[in-house]
Chains A and B, each alone.
Chain A
């Protein structure tokens, strides 16, 4: 079997982190968790995850800032970043894209859609 793909999840809500963790692990991914943008950058470090899933509303460093910081490193140019957003936050979706997000996952959280979205960005 090939090495499992690694996903970095960044969310300040434990509930959401747990939900992501259980769904992703169940689907055969390795998961690295971070609880806000700053923590996300630390956890990313020199890692080369296959994708990042990040929340937007977070303390310390929000999702926009986090994505911009990740993208600022040329090495992460082709790293897919999915943002967790809600249907009512269209403007945030756009802002996340401007920051460099590859795609998004609409809350309420749906495991099937999450895995679909990962596949769509090649992770």
Chain B
């Protein structure tokens, strides 16, 4: 049967929409599946969890069958069989079995994703799991015919005539409903109507069992029918009685085919008993009410709110220009407006916020894969899964996290033997924890491995020219050397965590998100990578400054302080470079106008105000500006998307007065400056 003929009544549009719902639902089911299996792995042998896990796979199978996704159906079926045995307590849940089930969940995920885009999964990937699952299922003696547990009254059948096939002499049926037939809302009249659809027939009512009126029981069954049917197709007839099988006596006389196996099987002694499902345990499977909204609508709303924020600040600026007498009454209203606007903005942002759980969950698969590749035993612990962050941040979190976790297992966690030798548990632990701290999300990836080998890091850094041989970096500085560009090379990392990418790439992808990354490590005890990210990429707090008649925004996260420059503290190194001494510490002093290439009507020496900024790597510089205009929340508009990437510029924003201001990319500016400084010798700058 082709797909088209299976659903003749449904339009292509309807099918497409159901298909979309199916795949959306699949993702939810896959997530529930993994969450459930992980909880079982933690030792929670909760009936409701097992049920949820089973339902997830069952549901995927059911939906897949609508769309004839055979590979998916077959795999889900096998998976379901294994789970069904777990559910029936025929298969004890031990660590090994849960591992297999988790791997099967990964394979199922692959199959779903492949089916979604109309592709096939490499059979070599799925085949081993099919074998593993089949083995699990085979462990329990199978009741292959599936009828073993049937509990019903056998249908007495007279084997009067077993003539050769093709005889169409018609059939005679004796049909006597039992009381149960009526109790299940079946209706003999409907059955007779169905029979009539098959062909002509003659019906005789047998009411011989009908008692006297006084003895009549309302819920008893007294009537029977004899039907002489013109059609000889006993299967078709039996199908009519399909629903009432066991709730009636049915004799089919004159049938030309052997009997249905059901009729030959003695009823099982007992009905299968399942533990009752606790109906009041609503568990985590059913969180608060939700609605589904097209992401575009949310983004549109965020855009509108951003405009509102801009308009509101225009209003405040215009009002500030008014004489005080006009302002007084309006000010209170403006303050309310300001508060409301921010609240609306926060609420809208919250719509886009998602728990980091989705990314964290993906990591458990990664851990399993890396475990398999390295032969190490690792347990993944996640904390703060519910911590929410903007979905764009979530989307871009996956890559750096993946790399850090791979690194942690590959480099951090020791082999089982080494761990046992130093008195640790054979199984290592990688922990990812998310939390909100000061308007940012902080994610820590830590392992209980060997910690950073500082001797080796230092040696590599010297060898690669990241630091000079006579440099004397502190332990902390050494640890952070691993983020330095040029530190990681294919030789410095193994094939596994390397994949051609070093920690410097992780750092730059984190920085691209407006984040920072750092590491602390204790030899023999493990390392912790700390990632701090903004909650949203749509707005940020900035310091508005003016330089050469242009407005620029320095991200507040990069700003350490602003101050008046004292000429005595400035030491010129050349025409375009100078050093400023702040409380005894020298920092490069940069004229922002010349960095940005602005034609300047003010001489550099005329500028006396500077911002002390720090990039994500801890590099500092003082930026000379004309004037500090004040702190402001700005809506980030991508310059790259609207124009092109400009060195030293992270993005743009629209100011209250409608003018465009560029947002400074402090790391970029410092890198530009570093290049200028570094020209004479490459080793001037430590990380």
> Which residues of A approach B to under 8 Å, CB–CB?
12-16, 18-19, 22-23, 26-27, 37-38, 57-62, 65, 71, 77-81, 86, 88, 90-91, 94-95, 97-98, 100-104, 107-112, 119-122
Contact = CB atoms under 8 A, between A and B. Distances in A.
Nearest to A110: B6
A60 B272 contact: no
B272 A91 contact: yes
A90 B66 contact: no
User: Interface range on chain B: under 10, 10 to 19, 20 to 34, or 35 or more?
Assistant: 35 or more
B14 to A, nearest CB: 5
A102 B18 contact: no
Contact of A102 (B9, B152, B184): B184
B184 A100 contact: yes
Given A15-B66, A59-B285, A91-B272, A102 B185 contact: yes
Interface stretch (B186-194, B436-444, B486-494, B573-581): B186-194
A120 B190 contact: yes
A102 B243 contact: yes
A-B pairs, top 5 by smallest CB distance, nearest first, are: A108-B65, A103-B243, A15-B63, A15-B22, A91-B149
A90 B186 contact: no
A95 B150 CA distance: 9
B66 A121 contact: no
Given A91-B150, A100-B184, A16 B190 contact: no
A103 B9 contact: no
Contacts of B58: 57
Nearest to B7: A111
Contact of A97 (B62, B146, B184, B282): B184
Contact of A14 (B21, B246, B279): B21
Contacts of B149: 90-91, 94
Nearest to B240: A120
6 contacts: A95-B272, A100-B183, A102-B185, A104-B243, A110-B6, A121-B190
Interface string B392-408: 00000000000000000
B220 to A, nearest CB: 14
Given A15-B63, A121-B190, A65 B277 contact: yes
A60 B283 CA distance: 9
A26 B13 CA distance: 13
Contacts of A88: 77, 146
Contacts of A71: 183
B320 to A, nearest CB: 53
Contacts of A23: 7, 9-10
Nearest to A122: B190
Contacts, number: 134
A77 B146 contact: no
Nearest to B5: A112
Nearest to A103: B243
Contacts of B77: 88
Given A15-B21, A94-B150, A103-B186, 8 more contacts: A16-B59, A19-B66, A59-B282, A94-B149, A107-B65, A109-B65, A120-B191, A121-B185
B151 A98 contact: yes
Contacts of B10: 22-23, 26, 111
Nearest to A26: B9
B271 interface: yes
A48 B74 CA distance: 39
A79 B185 contact: yes
B185 A81 contact: yes
A121 B243 contact: yes
A25 B191 CA distance: 25
Interface in B52-68: 52, 54-55, 58-59, 62-63, 65-66, 68
A57 B54 contact: yes
Contacts of B8: 111-112
B504 interface: no
Contacts of B194: 119-120
A119 B240 CA distance: 11
Q: Which of B146, B152, B186, B191 has the most CB of A within 10 A?
A: B186
B598 interface: no
Q: Could you tell me the dominant secondary structure of chain A's interface residues? A: mixed
Contacts of B150: 90-91, 94
A112 B146 CA distance: 25
Interface in B195-213: none
A112 B152 CA distance: 28
A74 B186 CA distance: 15
B147 interface: yes
B190 A107 contact: no
Nearest to B10: A22
Interface string B19-35: 00110110000000000
B286 interface: yes
B303 interface: no
A81 B17 CA distance: 28
Contacts of B246: 94, 97
B59 A94 contact: no
Contact of B186 (A37, A59, A91, A121): A121
A81 B183 CA distance: 11
A76 to B, nearest CB: 8
A16 B186 CA distance: 25
A22 B14 contact: yes
Contacts of B186: 80, 102-103, 121
B55 A120 contact: no
A100 B181 CA distance: 9
A101 B244 CA distance: 10
Contacts of A62: 277
Contacts of A59: 51-52, 55, 282, 285-286
B45 interface: no
Interface in B126-170: 146-147, 149-152
A34 B187 CA distance: 26
A94 B152 contact: yes
B242 interface: yes
B279 to A, nearest CB: 5
B474 to A, nearest CB: 56
A61 B152 CA distance: 25
Contacts of B185: 77-81, 100, 102, 121
Contact of A90 (B21, B59, B147, B277): B147
Contact of A13 (B25, B151, B187): B25
Given A19-B66, A65-B279, A90-B146, A103 B242 contact: yes
A10 to B, nearest CB: 14
Contacts of A122: 187, 190
B371 to A, nearest CB: 32
Contacts of B285: 59
Contacts of A58: 55
Contacts of A90: 146-147, 149-150
Interface string B277-293: 10100100110000000
A122 B276 CA distance: 32
B280 to A, nearest CB: 8
A56 to B, nearest CB: 9
A10 B90 CA distance: 29
B290 to A, nearest CB: 12
B151 A94 contact: yes
Given A18-B18, A23-B9, A98 B286 contact: no
A107 B62 contact: yes
